[in-house]
Amino acid sequence: MANILKAHAGARANRSTGGDIVLVICLLFLAIIFAFPLYFTIINSLKPADEFFLFPPKFYVIKPTGQNYQNLFRLMSTSWVPFSRYIFNTVFITVVGTVGHCIITSLAAFPCSKFVFPGSVGFGKLVRTSLMFSSSVTALATYIIMNAFGWIDTYWAMIIPAISTSLGFFLMQSFMGVVPDALLESATLDGAGLGRQFWTIVMPLVKSGWLTLAIFKIQELWNMQQSSYIYSETLKTMPYAISQVTSGGIARQGAAAAGSVILLIVPVVFFIIIQSNVLETMATSGMKD
């Protein structure tokens, strides 16, 4: 840590005040670009109907209103399935899928990154090759597997494919690969088993890895509108319900904008809460012995 602070101080000393100003301006410009879609989505949800189709479009609200949210909740209340059911489905799938994905991929990546065993090299190459295939390519094979296990039209049809994606394994294997072997050897000499090494040493050191993985998975599952394996209306998710009630043409554009904001809340809040942990751990995760 001392070496990192010295390097940072040296880099700061070699940079002029003018360079700092240029850096801040560039970062501010990038922040505005990245934040603009979020800003535009929020102001759209506050626009009355007559402001949606102004040309040229306004990037501010002339007469802000909360009517769009009222219309959205009114439309959702007309569904024969209680909207609380859609919320529960989304929360349950997101939590179980995210936690399961982080744990399973970490458990699989640990031995492949720290030990050599028969088939380990071939398995790693197979996982990296699978990254080239999108979910649409493997949809038929996934459906056959889900049907063979009797999971069609159940929560598992959405949770199991989310848990078993290869991106998480590849990411965690990359993070665990930089954990010093000497640290694990010392733990072994002190009597710590593999399970204790994994949970008390490796997982804390790769916190930025599984937190980043959690961000991706929450965003994916929270915004999952529909699944080819789910037919029962009582198992549908909240994004699907919102898309159905707001698909009534231009008359429901305001409600659709309000629904987009609601779907943004959870991923954005989760990222804001954990971003400091991700950045802090990334700053120290590359340290060696």
pLDDT in tens, 79-114: 777 888 888 998 999 999 999 999 999 998 888 888
CA 24 to chain centre: 28
124 in Cβ contact with 176 (< 8 Å): no
Token code pair at residue 187 = 């733990």
For the chain, what is the mean pLDDT?
A: 81
157-207 pLDDT, tens digit each: 888 888 888 888 888 888 888 888 888 888 888 888 888 888 988 888 888
Tell me what pLDDT residue 100 has. 92
Tell me what pLDDT residue 93 has. 92
Whether 272 shows a pLDDT value over 90: the answer reads: no
Using CA atoms, how far residue 145 sits from 75, 105, 160, 277, in Å, is 37, 20, 11, 38
Query: How far is the C-alpha of 52 from the C-alpha of 75, rounded, in Å?
Result: 20
Whether 14 shows a pLDDT value over 80: the answer reads: no
Whether 249 shows a pLDDT value over 70: the answer reads: no
Whether 11 shows a pLDDT value over 60: the answer reads: no
- Answer with the residue of higher pLDDT: 155 or 53: 155
Query: How far is the C-alpha of 43 from the C-alpha of 221, rounded, in Å?
Result: 25
Highest mean pLDDT among 11-20, 100-109, 272-281: 100-109
What percent of the residues of the chain are helix, what percent strand, and what percent coil, each to the nearest 5? 75, 0, 25
Token code pair at residue 236 = 């549908």
Whether 18 shows a pLDDT value over 60: the answer reads: yes
Q: Which residues contact 51 (CB under 8 A, 6 or more apart)?
A: 58, 61, 62, 63
207 in Cβ contact with 91 (< 8 Å): no
CATH 1.10.3720.10 domain locations along the chain: 80-284
Query: How far is the C-alpha of 271 from the C-alpha of 280, rounded, in Å?
Result: 14
Please give the average per-residue pLDDT across 230-256, as a whole number: 79
196-237 pLDDT, tens digit each: 888 988 888 888 888 888 888 988 888 887 667 888 888 888
Whether 4 shows a pLDDT value over 50: the answer reads: no
Query: How far is the C-alpha of 226 from the C-alpha of 83, rounded, in Å?
Result: 16
Please give the average per-residue pLDDT across 62-76, as a whole number: 81
DSSP 233: G
Query: How far is the C-alpha of 203 from the C-alpha of 182, rounded, in Å?
Result: 16
Cα end-to-end distance, the chain, whole Å: 11
Q: Is 178 exposed, middle or buried (0-12, 13-18, 19+ CB in 10 A)?
A: middle
Q: Kindly state which CATH superfamily the domain 80-284 is placed in.
A: MetI-like (1.10.3720.10)
Whether 2 shows a pLDDT value over 60: the answer reads: no
Of 47, 52, 49, whose CA–CA distance to 62 is shortest?
A: 47
Token code pair at residue 11 = 């880099």
Tell me what pLDDT residue 153 has. 87
Tell me what pLDDT residue 5 has. 44
Percent of the chain whose pLDDT exceeds 90: 6
R_g (Cα) of the chain, nearest Å: 24
Quote the Cα angle for 233-238-240, to 5°: 65
Place of tokens 């990222």: 271
108-141 pLDDT, tens digit each: 888 888 888 887 778 878 888 888 887 778 888 8
